[in-house]
Structure 1
Amino acid sequence: MKPLSRAVAAACLTMSASALAQQAVATGEGQMAEVVVTATRGEKAVDKIPGAIAVIGQQELATQYLIADDPSQALSTYIPGYAPSRQKMSSTGESLRGRQPLILLDGIPQSNPLRAGMREGYFADSYIIERIEVINGASAVQGMGATGGIINYITKSPRTSGTTHGVNLRASTQFRSDNLDWKTGYSISHKSGDVDFLGYAAVQRRGMSYDGNGRRLGIDTVQGDTLDTHGDDLFVKVGKTFGDQRLQLSLNRFNLEGDGDYKNDPGSVAEGVPTSSLPGAPVGEAPRNKVRSASLDYRHADLAGGMFSAQLFGHQFASLYGATRVATFQDARIAPNGTLWDQSQILADKRGARITYVRPDTLVAGLEATVGVDFLRDDTEQRLAITDRTWVPLLKFNSTAPFAQLEYEFGAVTVRGGVRHEIAELDVDTYTTLAAYGSRTVEGGSAEFSKSVKNIGAVWRWAPQWSAFAASSEGFGLPDAGLVLRGVNTPGQSVSSLISLQPIVTRNNEIGVNWRGARGQFGISRYDSRSKLGSVIRITAAGVGLVERVPTTVKGWEVSGEWRPTRAVSAFGSYAKTDGKTAATQGAPLDISLGARSQGPDKAVLGANWKWMPASRLRLQASHLFDRDINIGRMVGTSRLEEHFNGYTLVDAAASWDTRLGKVGVSIENLLDKQYVGYYSQSAAATDPGNTYAGRGRTLAVNISRTF
């Protein structure tokens, strides 16, 4: 694998494009079509944005979702700095450039930064996603939580006049009796005059899976798994355009729940045997995700010479975790120690508004002004479902954030800078911790934050098809406040005095060069991300996660490209190197490498597309994760920081073509049937026989879709 990994990295460096970073296509005149993104709070061409912007288009998403219907796996394939997918309902360890991203669905925040249960990866059916816009690096443009960047999922909209019906069926198998996955969906799209409508309904069932050795994969019955689950989604979007104005309502109702037919079967760490599963019903209810999102959007394209937009949104999130009798849940007043089973549930309710006004040629020609204000109310709590106990008290977060940004374009140069002022307050009532923490009474109170976060950057289009950028931007967030408050174990504490609730401000400095030509694209960037008061979760010898407020820094570079020698053939690739560091304590040297909970390994992706017939497409792709051995012999308190990871290479293939039945797609995930244990399991859970999960072996998938 060593020569192959070096070849993958070398190929990425020599490619002359970046379709993975900027989804553009050649026009009939041989020029590149302009790519416009909206995650920056206004429609803007990517070559005028100072920063590393990525857009994953619908064709790429359709191909990747054919291989694996897994949102995080698509991000890992197309976004160089995104960590490997865990192939679980839990997304612990799936970071962006060593930090957490803010996840949005049409601008509605899906992340839960107040109590990050790492379940935010599954919130909508993949079919309704038209494209994914990614802003790499710290950003405050969409609000709190984007210390690693922004991932905005954009849903589909009706494009053609008339009424169109669609039927979609996907099935995958490893030819075992209990591992059939299938999903079927129906869509209706209507556009007539100034009214449009899109509706989608789908149901899905997932069976078990097997590794490259033919052994049943381990199921995570506590944190949540996609194995042995069922789900459904109902999505509606209706809009009306009247002149320069548009009003749109969208609703999404998503469920994903375990069937509870299998139990975790621990492996043997000493013998190198990963976790497996056995038939049987675990204790308690199966893990599940329930997500409800609603958005009312208004837009005026020509209001006083500018574009005005307003969005009202609501988002309800409920994630239930599996039952366990971990020491943290024990209470001798309820049951003898070691016998009490319980399961936790995170409940989050967000309501908010976003108002934006963009006006070109403000005061002088070429000067664009963007102003607005965001409002957010986030109520989050974590309870123990069986005994109805409070684990994390209700966190009532309110934020008001006005912002302003100026952009000036003169000739080949675009300069932009802005500021966002966060005025936030976190209110918590008096509560009592669990018995495991001493049943401590913590006095309620509030923590107020007022912080301005800034950004400045410039793009220089210094030659035909070439551009260079330099940017500095800040992101604003909170540590996992719920994890901090639930672990208070000393008397006399109050919410307002807990220094661990101070905000995280991350600054990302980045430079890069891009080339976009008729035959391809190429992009390379170097970044340096720092936070003086960061947030690191460390696991003690007792298995308890603690939040440590220490400085963190992440440095890295990324390169991506695509080359299209003919209209029928293209090659693409990317390479990312990430180096995150932190300290044992405040004031100590930054000589501890960030672990798998925070940072992914270095990664390379290489692939090729071949349109072997006018309506047919074939793809072959390989992903390589590089070895990582860190913090040898290092300890902080009782937390063991040493991690080891043996890298691996996975190869996938997919083909699609048009037939009389509709569009047919066939894929083989893990084409070489590689036996491997995932990055997070090898690194962060290496000593836990119940959490050492192997990855899927060779899997065949077939997709049939038809519109009429």
Structure 2
Amino acid sequence: MKTNGTYLIPLVAIAVATVTTFVSVAAQAEAYKNTEETMVVVSSRTPKAISEIPGTVWFVDSEQIEQEYRGGKTLGEILSATIPSLDVSSGARTNYGQNLRGRAMLVMIDGVSLQSSRPISRQLDAIDPFNIERIEVLSGATSIYGAGATGGVINIITKKSDSDELQFESYVSGTTGLNGGDDFDYKVAQSISGGTDNVAARVSAVYTETQGYYDGEGDIVTPDISQGSLQYNKTIDLQSTIDVSISDTKNINFLAQYYDSQQDSPYGLYIKNYKFIDVRKGFESDRQHGTERIMLSAAYSDSEFLSHQLVVEASYRKEDQTYTPYYQSASQQTTDVISLKTALAKSFGKVNLVYGVDAYMDKFDSNQALFDPTIDNNSGNLVNKTYAEIGRYPGVEVGSVAGFIQADMDITDDWSVQGGYRYQYMNNKIDDFVDYKIQKKIAAGNGSSADAVPGGETNYSVGLFNLGTIYKLTSDSQVWASFSQGFDLADPAKYYGQGSYSAVDANGHYALQDSINVSDSKMSGIKTNSYEIGFRTEQDALSFQAAAYFSQSDKSVKYNKQTLLIEDVDNEKRVYGAEALVSYWVMDNIQLGASGHYVISELQTDGKWNDLSAGEASTSKASSWIGWYESDLAVKVQSQTMFDYKDADDNELSGYTVFDLVGSYELPVGSLGFGIQNLFNKDYTTAWGQRAQILYSSHYDAAAYDYKGRGRTYTLNYQVKY
């Protein structure tokens, strides 16, 4: 990691904020601390005070979320601004490479996992911030949730009715970079909530439409053909929550969401003879990037079930995800997930126990639309018309069942120990599959049949352990140490179904010669051990939390840069670093804050530890802010810096600093929200744009993946609650 003059402003801001904070503590500033403990469920599956948790927990409340999204930020940008160890936002549809503590994160909505057997990395393109009440984040690998949470867990809690009276919330917003009429975005949202003593409901609808993104130089941003941007995109988020009080001890909560985010861009990459020329209008395609999701869940709780507290949650999620043309084809990938979670909690004197069973069934399928090569070539790949559909990846069905138990015990009034164990069994069923390259040849008329790579079943059994201890130095300060294990199963669809074939015979048949199949090459699971020590304090005007961590996995995934499929799961990987956040009320209406994450990611090859590829490694980052808050006016100026990174192969990520302004003003009726994103009109390539150039460099010129950040943009909105 390199530091130069570009980063002096935010680093000085961090230093000033930190020094000011600790010097001013002695001044006994006026109290700002909330007298009620903040409770979260992300750490132990049942509500628990943050001060009782031996781990790094971040809590983003409704006021923070509202201030940020009214300033023009997306969910990914909000999380990056508020969670120190979460990488900078991609600025695009994907959150690939936006790691938590250098590893993949598990994202949930009201406890329903958005994880799938195919990690398509669109979990943050899943809900509009208008519908979010709060966000709970647990940093670091956790054994509590099983597979997919080696970097941590983000639990998004939706808004619900909080009154028996009928309530409305209306919202309208516009965003522009003043680049003519081609970059005006707008959003409209409406919610209705209310109910009776026993039944309360909230129904909401959000519609967002974006147009062109322009960089700091005023040029149209190159469309992201790899994972997808949100330019020229239309999004609908329909959501309903119903809370039913059956009795004083029994409740049922229902959630239904329909989310549809689809791109329809007039701009495309003009490509001739497989060489990228420029970005042009005239793009038409039968498929573009899009995500359509239906999610349903029902949670039943009973605080007096056989002297236990019982929580049962059943959910269903269906996703249909499409991609834009890439090498004259585009995929469609569908996922269906059914899950059931149960948890029982009971106190035995000084011992608190939580235990239960989780199960899910995940079914994945996919296809690839092949576009007419004549039309494509004549139009420079701007016009894409489907002439055939073939299989893209083998069909995969994953079944899992797990049992867990967590216990915490008070050794003294100030010292407690917590630990637990989770045993998870997973069964993977892989369909027979003809290699994708051979299917393309057959579709083009070069052959008529082929042997399939054999599918089959694989089973995994894994035990995950966690142990932590926390000590209360004072009623407001705690120090902790913990160990936890996480588990990942690499994408089976990208591993199986690969084969090498002989030349087509006289009958038009391709004979299979060698393959990656289930019986001969079972894919290894990946286990991660994570350690951390930390400290936090909540004083009158001061909030501070910091932790140092180390995590090491026994294996890691290696991809073929040409095919983008998994070659093997082998070498060890380790990630270590530190994260911290400090905020301080200097005066009644002025708050200073700063956060930072220092991270090192390494891969062991040939017995040596080398820097992890810049295509997937996290970079260190820093943020700082100053906020002014009065009864009618709130304004905050904040910075975010991504630092440089260079890997063992000399691939580089160039760091950058971006400043934003967000605020709101109370009117006699309703309020105005406003924001200026990229305040100083910085011209830069996003972290994802730089990663894509490394990951896909064997396909097109680097310029084809130069996905830049949006230049200075202005947001103005009006919101009224009545």
TM-score by structure 1 length?
A: 0.89
Q: Give the one of 683, 692, 704 matched to 2:718.
A: 704
Q: Give the one of 371, 375, 390 matched to 2:355.
A: 371
Alignment partners' CA distance in 2, 1:55 and 1:29: 16
Q: Deviations over 1:191-242 (max 9, x none)?
A: 3211100000121110111111111111124532200111111101111112
Give 1:282 deviation, angstroms.
3.5
What is residue 121 of structure 2 aligned with on the other side?
118
Q: Give the one of 96, 106, 113 matched to 1:109.
A: 113
What is residue 194 of structure 1 aligned with on the other side?
198
Alignment of 1:10-29 (within 5 A): 10-11=15-16, 13-14=18-19, 16=21
Alignment partners' CA distance in 1, 2:616 and 2:394: 26
Equivalent residue of 1:657, what SS?
strand
What is residue 227 of structure 2 aligned with on the other side?
223
Alignment partners' CA distance in 2, 1:470 and 1:275: 54
Give 1:149 deviation, angstroms.
0.8
Give 1:465 deviation, angstroms.
2.0
Indicate yes or no: 2:398 matched with 1:381.
no
The one-letter amino acid paired with 1:581 is E
Q: Deviations over 1:582-625 (max 9, x none)?
A: 133xxx234221234432211000001111x3132111101111
Give 1:423 deviation, angstroms.
1.0
Equivalent residue of 1:695, what SS?
coil
- For the 8 Å contact 2:271–2:277, the answer to whether it is kept is yes
Alignment of 1:399-410 (within 5 A): 399-409=400-410, 410=412
Equivalent residue of 1:442, what SS?
coil
Alignment partners' CA distance in 2, 1:496 and 1:287: 31
- Aligned residue pair count: 662
Give 1:278 deviation, angstroms.
2.5
**Cα separation, partners in 2 of 1:109 and 1:209, compared to 1, 3 Å:** same
Equivalent residue of 1:77, what SS?
helix
The one-letter amino acid paired with 2:49 is A
**Cα separation, partners in 2 of 1:266 and 1:590, compared to 1, 3 Å:** farther
Q: Deviations over 1:547-601 (max 9, x none)?
A: 54321000011111111122311111101011010133xxx23422123443221
What is residue 546 of structure 2 aligned with on the other side?
524
- For the 8 Å contact 1:218–1:275, the answer to whether it is kept is no
- For the 8 Å contact 2:498–2:517, the answer to whether it is kept is no
Q: Give the one of 251, 257, 272 matched to 1:252.
A: 257
Give 1:251 deviation, angstroms.
0.3
Alignment of 1:199-214 (within 5 A): 199-214=203-218
Q: Deviations over 1:613-639 (max 9, x none)?
A: 3132111101111122221xx3xxxxx
What is residue 503 of structure 2 aligned with on the other side?
none
The one-letter amino acid paired with 1:342 is S
Indicate yes or no: 2:157 matched with 1:154.
yes
What is residue 75 of structure 2 aligned with on the other side?
71
Give 1:28 deviation, angstroms.
7.0
Give 1:160 deviation, angstroms.
2.3
What is residue 678 of structure 1 aligned with on the other side?
686
**Cα separation, partners in 2 of 1:452 and 1:60, compared to 1, 3 Å:** same
The one-letter amino acid paired with 1:630 is D
The alignment-based identity, stated in percent, is 22
User: Structure 2 regions of 5+ residues with no counterpart?
Assistant: 1-5, 23-28, 371-387, 442-449, 501-511
**Cα separation, partners in 2 of 1:436 and 1:4, compared to 1, 3 Å:** farther
Give 1:255 deviation, angstroms.
0.3
What is residue 654 of structure 1 aligned with on the other side?
662
Q: Deviations over 1:37-68 (max 9, x none)?
A: 01120100111111111111111111221233
- For the 8 Å contact 1:219–1:276, the answer to whether it is kept is no
Alignment partners' CA distance in 2, 1:415 and 1:122: 38
The one-letter amino acid paired with 1:369 is L
The one-letter amino acid paired with 2:100 is L
The one-letter amino acid paired with 1:691 is Y
Alignment of 1:126-137 (within 5 A): 126-137=129-140
Indicate yes or no: 2:331 matched with 1:344.
yes
Equivalent residue of 2:693, what SS?
coil
Please provide the CA RMSD for this pair.
2.4
Q: Deviations over 1:655-688 (max 9, x none)?
A: 2021134121010001111111112323451552
**Cα separation, partners in 2 of 1:223 and 1:30, compared to 1, 3 Å:** closer
- For the 8 Å contact 1:553–1:580, the answer to whether it is kept is yes
The one-letter amino acid paired with 1:422 is Q
The one-letter amino acid paired with 2:295 is S
What is residue 335 of structure 1 aligned with on the other side?
none
Equivalent residue of 1:59, what SS?
helix
**Cα separation, partners in 2 of 1:285 and 1:418, compared to 1, 3 Å:** same
- For the 8 Å contact 1:295–1:311, the answer to whether it is kept is yes
Equivalent residue of 1:324, what SS?
coil
**Cα separation, partners in 2 of 1:266 and 1:692, compared to 1, 3 Å:** farther
The one-letter amino acid paired with 1:676 is Y
**Cα separation, partners in 2 of 1:146 and 1:499, compared to 1, 3 Å:** farther
Q: Deviations over 1:270-300 (max 9, x none)?
A: xxxx997422124332221001100011001
Alignment partners' CA distance in 2, 1:514 and 1:536: 38
User: Structure 1 regions of 5+ residues with no counterpart?
Assistant: 18-25, 268-273, 326-340, 635-641
Alignment partners' CA distance in 2, 1:643 and 1:684: 12
Alignment of 1:556-571 (within 5 A): 556-571=577-592
- For the 8 Å contact 1:627–1:646, the answer to whether it is kept is yes
Give 1:172 deviation, angstroms.
0.3
Indicate yes or no: 2:478 matched with 1:478.
no
- For the 8 Å contact 1:573–1:605, the answer to whether it is kept is yes
Alignment partners' CA distance in 1, 2:718 and 2:237: 19
Alignment partners' CA distance in 2, 1:233 and 1:29: 35
Give 1:499 deviation, angstroms.
4.5
**Cα separation, partners in 2 of 1:547 and 1:68, compared to 1, 3 Å:** farther
TM-score by structure 2 length?
A: 0.87
Give 1:440 deviation, angstroms.
6.0
- For the 8 Å contact 1:398–1:424, the answer to whether it is kept is yes
Alignment partners' CA distance in 1, 2:31 and 2:94: 45
Give 1:190 deviation, angstroms.
0.5
**Cα separation, partners in 2 of 1:487 and 1:689, compared to 1, 3 Å:** farther
- For the 8 Å contact 2:267–2:282, the answer to whether it is kept is yes
- For the 8 Å contact 1:15–1:561, the answer to whether it is kept is no
**Cα separation, partners in 2 of 1:170 and 1:411, compared to 1, 3 Å:** same
Give 1:350 deviation, angstroms.
0.3
- For the 8 Å contact 1:53–1:133, the answer to whether it is kept is yes
Equivalent residue of 2:181, what SS?
coil
Give 1:13 deviation, angstroms.
4.9
The one-letter amino acid paired with 2:490 is P
Give 1:533 deviation, angstroms.
1.7
What is residue 381 of structure 2 aligned with on the other side?
none
Give 1:462 deviation, angstroms.
1.9
Q: Relative to structure 2, which stretch is displaced further, 602-611 or 138-147?
A: 138-147
- For the 8 Å contact 1:221–1:286, the answer to whether it is kept is no
Q: Give the one of 293, 298, 301 matched to 1:291.
A: 293
Equivalent residue of 1:504, what SS?
strand
Alignment partners' CA distance in 2, 1:630 and 1:29: 44
The one-letter amino acid paired with 1:623 is Q
What is residue 267 of structure 2 aligned with on the other side?
262
Alignment of 1:336-485 (within 5 A): 341-360=328-347, 362=348, 365-386=349-370, 387-409=388-410, 410-435=412-437, 441-485=452-496
Alignment of 1:497-512 (within 5 A): 497=519, 499=521, 501-512=523-534
Equivalent residue of 2:36, what SS?
coil
- For the 8 Å contact 1:605–1:621, the answer to whether it is kept is yes
What is residue 270 of structure 1 aligned with on the other side?
none
Alignment partners' CA distance in 2, 1:128 and 1:607: 25
The one-letter amino acid paired with 1:215 is D
Alignment partners' CA distance in 1, 2:281 and 2:157: 39
Give 1:488 deviation, angstroms.
4.2
Alignment partners' CA distance in 2, 1:165 and 1:307: 34
Q: Relative to structure 2, which stretch is displaced further, 544-553 or 616-625?
A: 544-553
Alignment of 1:640-651 (within 5 A): 642-651=650-659
What is residue 143 of structure 2 aligned with on the other side?
140
- For the 8 Å contact 2:454–2:497, the answer to whether it is kept is no
